[in-house]
Chains A and B, each alone.
Chain A
Amino acid sequence: MLTIEDIHTYYGDSYILQGISMEVKGGQVVGVLGRNGMGKTTLIRSLIGVNPPRRGRITYQGEELTQKKPFQIARLGIGIVPQGREIFPSLDVTENLTVAYTMKSDGWTLEKIFDLFPPLRQRVHHPGNRLSGGEQQMLAIGRSLMMNPSLLLMDEPTEGLSPLFVQTVGQVIHMLQQGGLSILLVEQNLRFALRHTDYIHIMNRGQIVHSSSPNELDGNQEIRQKFLGV
């Protein structure tokens, strides 16, 4: 579904992504792990078109994304749950959710999102900046689902969340995958990634240094120690 071929991305003269290749097949959850500053968020930004790669190709369901504008990429069905949630502080919960609504038959609607995240229904008119971290994360995920995407890019969705909410996010990812959604999950939380992904890549200094199934990584202490410090 999503194919990334040898992309190289720069911030000005800083060479960040140094030849990244991977793919996400339909219905797969692919994890990308790595320490801070290794280029994980830059990868997401390159995929969504905000920081396009200077070299390499990104194709999605046959269409080339590499030179497209972010809003064009978004309209192709790629949703993003950004790092730090990025809730609209001026809008309330309902407005935050409806702002990106793309209608799809039998797809996500406002009601279905509230079924998925009952605490949001209770805070329907709360402004975005008066929610807890966990509620904001639910809102951010809900908002991206309202676009009815076929591929979801999640950037550190468990960051700063209490164990209960981490569990909720995990359950949601599982449920979404069951429903056929493909997910690219960027994470620092190793245990979370091991539990919820089908395949894992580890990034170090802008390159992929390890790719395997979660089980293999779980059994490979040397790699974990070297690149994740765990």
Chain B
Amino acid sequence: MMAQTLFSKSLLVMALGAVVLVLIILPPVLPTYVVILLSQTMVYAMAAMSLDVLIGYTNLGSLGHASYFAIGAFATAILETRYKAGFAVSLFSSIGIAAFASALIGLLALRTTGIYFLLITLSVAMSIWGLIYQWQSFTGGDNGISDIPRPDFGRWININNHVHFHYFILIFFVLSLILIVLLIRSPFGKTLVGIRDSETRMKVLGYDIWLHKYLAFIIAGAFAGLAGSIYAYFNRFVGPGDAGLDQCMEFVLMVSIGGPGTLIGANIGALLITFMKNMVSGYTHRYLLILGIVYVLTAKYAPDGIMGLIRRFGRGQEP
């Protein structure tokens, strides 16, 4: 609704067209490197969008979202490598386990708000990272779990072909996007926005805001688990780094740099950070420094992220 008033129709169509072009039409002819980066972007975008539901729509600054991503990834990794569970079982189990974890952690974290919530989610995330790191017999510790087999769909699809796997990920990406958009537009989603605007206001109007925040937290965790599961198949390796502080911050930055509360922003942020990370790594090991500088600049000059800049720019251009 808001987007239609901000951008001209032709601009929207062009942007959509560009996305369709890059994600659907071009992959068979793009360089392998680019296709793999696009696939990686989509996986991270799924997790970033779910975090945007928390940060941008409910005003819950969760610094530990990578936990659920990693739980989903490790669940799939363990189920596939050790128990040969197969795609459906692994995928749904990963979503379920991640949702369950967020249900447990939410009970603890949602006793607080604001900066304390930030601290608790971060602390829990570090505990989970530590657990993954130490529990070598279960998670492989520092070595992680490798050689995760990709799902087998028969002769017609070579799932080990990076282009085919790109389309495989695309299906889940589009599915997540549609589901999250439906969530945001539903009465439940609007309530979250009301909570973001003012918790007190919503309380006195008769809304049980704790319950709404809790459900949002679990749903976000479930989507992160889904992203993690797909990531495990994509990367074919999972390690404690996927639950670490770097990953937690990256997700937050994807949302912040792209523009919180827009959903599109999370995708832009995922694209920017994924490509920047991989390209910068070719020139320097100091990727984190660059990322930090980008974040400081964003916080200072564009607190509403790229979408905020576009909005401001668009407004300036109106007659």
With A91-B190, A95-B190 known as contacts, the answer to whether A102 contacts B197 (CB < 8 A) is no
Would B194 and A88 count as touching, CB distance under 8 A? yes
Would A71 and B194 count as touching, CB distance under 8 A? no
Q: Does B84 contact A (CB under 8 A)?
A: no
Contact among A74, A89, A90, A95 with B205 in the assembled complex (CB-CB below 8 Å): A74
Would B205 and A147 count as touching, CB distance under 8 A? yes
Give the interface residue-count category, chain A.
20 to 34
Would B206 and A75 count as touching, CB distance under 8 A? yes
Would A91 and B194 count as touching, CB distance under 8 A? yes
Q: How far is the CB of B311 from chain A (nearest CB, A)?
A: 14
Q: Does A116 contact B (CB under 8 A)?
A: no
Contacts of B201 in A (CB 8 A): 82, 86, 88
Q: Does A208 contact B (CB under 8 A)?
A: no
Q: Which residue of B lies closest to A149 (CB)?
A: B206
Contact with A along B296-309 (1 / 0, CB 8 A): 00000000000000
Q: Does A175 contact B (CB under 8 A)?
A: no
Alpha-carbon distance A71/B206, docked complex (angstroms):
4
Q: Does B200 contact A (CB under 8 A)?
A: yes
Q: Does B103 contact A (CB under 8 A)?
A: no
Q: How far is the CB of A81 from chain B (nearest CB, A)?
A: 10
With A86-B201, A88-B201, A89-B197 known as contacts, the answer to whether A71 contacts B190 (CB < 8 A) is no
Alpha-carbon distance A90/B202, docked complex (angstroms):
14
Alpha-carbon distance A68/B210, docked complex (angstroms):
15
Q: Does A103 contact B (CB under 8 A)?
A: no
Q: How far is the CB of B95 from chain A (nearest CB, A)?
A: 30
Would B206 and A50 count as touching, CB distance under 8 A? no
Contact among A74, A88, A100, A143 with B197 in the assembled complex (CB-CB below 8 Å): A88
Would B193 and A71 count as touching, CB distance under 8 A? no
Contacts of A86 in B (CB 8 A): 198, 201
Alpha-carbon distance A74/B207, docked complex (angstroms):
9
Alpha-carbon distance A99/B201, docked complex (angstroms):
11
Q: How far is the CB of B130 from chain A (nearest CB, A)?
A: 36
Alpha-carbon distance A71/B213, docked complex (angstroms):
14
Q: How far is the CB of A118 from chain B (nearest CB, A)?
A: 24
Q: Does B203 contact A (CB under 8 A)?
A: yes
Q: How far is the CB of A134 from chain B (nearest CB, A)?
A: 20
Alpha-carbon distance A102/B206, docked complex (angstroms):
9
Contacts of B205 in A (CB 8 A): 71, 74, 99-100, 143, 147
Alpha-carbon distance A91/B198, docked complex (angstroms):
12
Contact among B191, B197, B206 with A147 in the assembled complex (CB-CB below 8 Å): B206
Alpha-carbon distance A117/B204, docked complex (angstroms):
22
Q: How far is the CB of A104 from chain B (nearest CB, A)?
A: 13
Q: Does B208 contact A (CB under 8 A)?
A: yes
Contacts of B209 in A (CB 8 A): 71
Q: Does A203 contact B (CB under 8 A)?
A: no
Q: Which residue of B lies closest to A89 (CB)?
A: B197
Contact among A74, A91, A102 with B203 in the assembled complex (CB-CB below 8 Å): A74
Would A48 and B197 count as touching, CB distance under 8 A? no
Q: Which residue of A lies closest to B1 (CB)?
A: A92
Contact among B197, B198, B208 with A71 in the assembled complex (CB-CB below 8 Å): B208
Q: Does A80 contact B (CB under 8 A)?
A: yes
Q: Which residue of A lies closest to B201 (CB)?
A: A86
Alpha-carbon distance A75/B204, docked complex (angstroms):
9
Q: Does A170 contact B (CB under 8 A)?
A: no
Contacts of A102 in B (CB 8 A): 206
Alpha-carbon distance A43/B204, docked complex (angstroms):
14
Q: Does A70 contact B (CB under 8 A)?
A: yes
Alpha-carbon distance A95/B198, docked complex (angstroms):
15
Contacts of A82 in B (CB 8 A): 201, 204
Q: Which of B193, B194, B205 has the most CB of A within 10 A?
A: B205
Residues 98-157 of A at the B interface (beta carbon under 8 Å): 99-100, 102, 143, 147
Q: Which residue of B lies closest to A125 (CB)?
A: B1
Contacts of B203 in A (CB 8 A): 49-50, 69-71, 74
Contacts of A70 in B (CB 8 A): 200, 203-204
23 example contacts (A-B, Cβ-Cβ < 8 A) are as follows: A49-B203, A50-B203, A50-B204, A69-B203, A70-B203, A70-B204, A71-B203, A71-B206, A71-B208, A74-B203, A74-B204, A74-B205, A74-B206, A82-B201, A86-B198, A88-B198, A88-B201, A90-B193, A91-B190, A99-B190, A100-B205, A100-B206, A143-B205
Per CB-CB distance, the 4 closest pairs between chain A and chain B, nearest first, are A74-B206, A70-B203, A100-B205, A75-B206
| Contact surface of B with A, Cβ cutoff 8 Å | 190-191, 193-194, 197-198, 200-201, 203-209
Given contacts A70-B200, A86-B201, A91-B193, 16 further A-B contacts (CB under 8 A): A48-B204, A50-B204, A70-B203, A71-B207, A75-B206, A82-B204, A88-B198, A89-B197, A91-B194, A95-B190, A99-B190, A100-B205, A102-B206, A143-B205, A147-B205, A147-B206
